[in-house]
Structure 1
């Protein structure tokens, strides 16, 4: 039985995308060629791995087991390639970077551009996740580098300052809090809020602060992105508490008023770079850590 790494990579893509067509587009291969690769993989294993339907694909029992092992083998092969590349005199290879949304929308594009101008042989595999999942990915060694807003850092991780990103209040132009230079949290929670993705670090912080003052949050709607949050505020569905990075990126039109949130914990919010504690790191990984953690001096 011969199974090539490329077929495993395509199989992983199909499962992640839930569709042969989308996986083909992602990997720049014809759908018919990808389908043949999967069929050959199933033939080599002697069992069907996917259940195909007009709406997409799902895993068979054998497919679920194969996917877990294929993902593990793929990660090991990627690690092998990165370790060998690091033995050369060049800084090269793939670095797995996990980051939360505020880091991605507010700071990373320019910093990664500068990094890749300096290290053109390094490829950044960027994954967006909530802060807690960024931390878990670093601990599990699924991420070489992580950026999160989490204040609870496990002992097994090294951590460095990345950027200050205090919280702001975004308001419709005619909202009564727009008359205040810097509303407090008590001011804000008197009104309906447009909330952001349950489980994220910002969601957890606001719930903890509301519990501390024994006032339930009045949520008008919950969304999964900063741009959606700002659009809902613009439509008058509530007010939002967002990082400065997101307020700058998505609430820059004349349809908003932005005010700093007048709380110490809001002003002190920052993003940090994380990596698993190791005696030594791949050159590309260390170069990215150095670049991101030194960017603000």
Structure 2
């Protein structure tokens, strides 16, 4: 296949405008040139990308697939520009950090705010991944620092204590489970759940844990934060599984019942993960030092 960014930008413009002439105008091309480029693009890919209709154009199934990927390409390019811009502005350091959902939502906001206040010349790229993904990325040298809850046998990494917390079950105050002090995870799988969005590390972990028990979890709704999980649960939508450290903020809006989970994996002792601490850059080492300060559990 032979095409360039101009072709992709033109295709997005045409697909969004649903008109070749208006799409060409958006990217400052003549309609004849745009039509020629689209024809060559379709020939290169080997299939039609646009349906020509009396009142305009619309993407074919192949065109819809290209549109999704092209948008991702330009989003990634924008992220690349965002990552490079600080260097041109005199920022002297950058640290790549991956963390699981628990750390990303519950503890890292405060920790990273402290670090960035101390180091205004440093930028951080933070991504959310499952703990095994984080550990493997650190072991391969793809990222500088990780924060994880699970260990991975055989991975050549160093682990430094960060925070102690545990996963708990939350339920509406009038739920049948509310009076219980603790429960097994297998005993609650008949109830609907409120979950973080698909793709979040805790969503993946919870679904896999249910599958390992031979069960399918009924997810009533997926939301974007632990606070939203707490509010949905308090409204009676379903049960939730969140870190204990996230309950206080979420419960500020409505009462919740907190039920301990009688599972070894419920204890989520978060650890900072690095390949070799002595090999870290100065800024990455400073970040690790900042994260390892004040190793406390939830209040």
Which TM-score tier does this pair reach, normalised by the shorter chain?
Answer: 0.5 to 0.7
* Cα distance between partner residues in 1 of 2:292 and 2:138: 16
Root-mean-square deviation (Å): 4.5
* Cα distance between partner residues in 2 of 1:284 and 1:54: 49
TM-score normalised to the size of structure 1? 0.62
Give the 3 Å change call, closer, same or farther, for CA 150–189 of structure 1 in structure 2: same
Give the 3 Å change call, closer, same or farther, for CA 76–240 of structure 1 in structure 2: closer
Instruction: Give the corresponding residue for 2:220.
Output: 221
Instruction: Give the corresponding residue for 1:43.
Output: none
- Are the counterparts in 1 of residues 100 and 201 from structure 2 also a CA contact under 8 Å? no
- Does the alignment pair 1:285 with 2:292? no
* Cα distance between partner residues in 2 of 1:150 and 1:171: 25
Give the greater-gyration-radius structure (CA): 2
Shift of 1:239: 0.6
* Cα distance between partner residues in 2 of 1:77 and 1:184: 48
Shift of 1:146: 1.4
Aligned residue pair count: 241
Shift of 1:221: 2.3
Shift of 1:179: 0.9
Alignment deviations for residues 195-231 of structure 1 (CA, whole Å, 9 cap, x no partner)? 344565534544555456x452441325253344334
TM-score normalised to the size of structure 2? 0.61
Instruction: Give the corresponding residue for 1:150.
Output: 150
* Cα distance between partner residues in 1 of 2:211 and 2:217: 13
* Cα distance between partner residues in 2 of 1:109 and 1:76: 19
* Cα distance between partner residues in 1 of 2:249 and 2:134: 22
- Does the alignment pair 1:193 with 2:179? no
Q: Secondary structure at the match of 1:295?
A: coil
Q: Secondary structure at the match of 2:262?
A: coil
- Does the alignment pair 1:173 with 2:209? no
* Cα distance between partner residues in 2 of 1:74 and 1:134: 24
Gaps of 5+ in 1: 1-10, 20-34, 37-46, 86-91
Shift of 1:180: 1.4
- Are the counterparts in 1 of residues 128 and 200 from structure 2 also a CA contact under 8 Å? no
